[in-house]
A = this chain, B = another copy of it.
Amino acid sequence: SNMIKVAVVGGEGIGPEVTDQSHRILKWFSARRGVPVVLREAQYGLIPYLATGKVLPDDTVEAMEEADAILWGATGGPETTQVPPAARKAGSLLSVRSKYELYANLRPIVANPALADSAPLKAEVLKGVDFVIIRELTSGIYFGEPRGIETLPDGQRRGFNTQQYTTSQIRRVARTAFELARTRKGRVCSVDKANVLETSVLWREEVTALHEAEFSDVELTHLYVDNAAMQIVRAPAQFDVMVTCNIFGDILSDCAAMASGSLGMLPSVSLGPPDRLGRRKALYEPVHGSAPDIAGKGIANPLGSILSVAMMLRMTLNRPDDATLLEKAVDTALAAGARTADIAEPGAKRLSTQEMGDAVLNAL
């Protein structure tokens, strides 16, 4: 069939709350705009662990396995401590990323003028900010072996991890960056630490070689990661597509979150390798985490998850007009003053998670 399968996995902490809203939105697009999706909800975390002994139970694995796209909420928080480390690890988000080879994590950073008042950066610095950080997500120091903590002969302990990249791991994520840049402003900035790390020397060589061989129409620049962190704060509007390794991408994208107004606003997608038809398994999730301090209170910002649905409409569902429609609805709601607590000015009215979902639906 032409139906596209989406697994909806709210997860833990504020994950289920925010995913409820993005799920509603996705159903609206299915019912009202004829977007051909089949939605299958599935559980993750402490609840299925208590019932089945697995945080990621077989039913959820099956739903994710058959899905073209996964709409993911969040994992972690106090529940974590009630699950033994081994069970936690067996079904962790890292294991999911790895299992489906979701190697290209795209995190768009767009400054919304309506939120300039609550942002730490000056309005003139935020002006025109619209870039995408592509973070390599299934290799690097997150997965490198050997790793561990050993006891040395003198009784001291030593912790060790391995940062590592191969030619093909670098090239495939760089390819995603160059291809994306072609649909945007045509500029890629590759970030590494080639003045110190051999992994970065190889990174820079391979990105450069791929650029020369296939993407010389795209502008390629390189920055050291320390300078990149500074430039993201100093003048974030200079970037179009930034590509970097797993750990640098983790740090830089949180740093860049402040160039968008709020972490709660940021969507993301993690893409796997293309199949013969160019289709890529995709996991959509807000950049924010499980936020245990506000979980269950119904006050979390669902816009990161809702904007992830916009990304899904554009990238997996091939409905760019619907994606734009949704993004405009979010802008309309924000311009009309809809604010959850995280983006509200002191004294302003704060919407609940559900009310923010309503505001977006009303604007559609």
Residues of A within 8 A of B (CB): 76, 94, 120-122, 125, 141-142, 144, 147-149, 152, 156-168, 193, 195-203, 206, 225-227, 229-230, 232-235, 247-248, 250-255, 257-258, 263
Contact = CB atoms under 8 A, between A and B. Distances in A.
A199 B142 CA distance: 11
Contacts of A252: 229
A247 B142 contact: no
Contact of A149 (B141, B160, B201): B201
Contacts of A233: 120-121, 233, 255, 258
A159 B229 contact: no
A251 B225 contact: yes
25 contacts: A76-B195, A120-B121, A120-B233, A141-B196, A148-B198, A149-B202, A152-B166, A156-B167, A158-B165, A158-B202, A159-B166, A159-B198, A159-B200, A159-B201, A160-B164, A160-B199, A161-B199, A162-B163, A226-B251, A226-B253, A229-B252, A230-B263, A233-B233, A234-B258, A248-B251
A1 to B, nearest CB: 39
A169 to B, nearest CB: 9
B258 A203 contact: no
Q: Indicate the member of A122, A197, A229, A235 with the most B CB atoms within 10 Å.
A: A229
Q: Indicate the member of A152, A161, A227 with the most B CB atoms within 10 Å.
A: A161
Contacts of A247: 193
Nearest to A152: B166
A318 to B, nearest CB: 32
Nearest to A227: B254
B120 A161 contact: no
Given A227-B254, A230-B263, A254-B230, A160 B144 contact: yes
3 smallest A-B Cβ distances: which pairs? A159-B202, A159-B199, A229-B255
Contacts of A229: 229, 251-252, 254-255
Nearest to A123: B122
A151 to B, nearest CB: 10
Nearest to A289: B227
A250 B227 CA distance: 9
Q: Indicate the member of A144, A200, A227, A233 with the most B CB atoms within 10 Å.
A: A233
Contact of A122 (B122, B158, B203, B255): B122
A261 to B, nearest CB: 11
Q: Indicate the member of A206, A248, A253, A254 with the most B CB atoms within 10 Å.
A: A254
A189 to B, nearest CB: 16
Nearest to A229: B255
Given A76-B195, A159-B202, 20 more contacts: A94-B196, A120-B125, A122-B122, A141-B163, A142-B196, A147-B197, A149-B198, A149-B202, A158-B166, A158-B167, A160-B199, A161-B198, A161-B199, A162-B163, A193-B247, A225-B250, A229-B229, A230-B257, A248-B251, A255-B255
A209 to B, nearest CB: 11
A160 to B, nearest CB: 4
A163 B160 contact: yes
Q: Indicate the member of A162, A251, A257 with the most B CB atoms within 10 Å.
A: A251
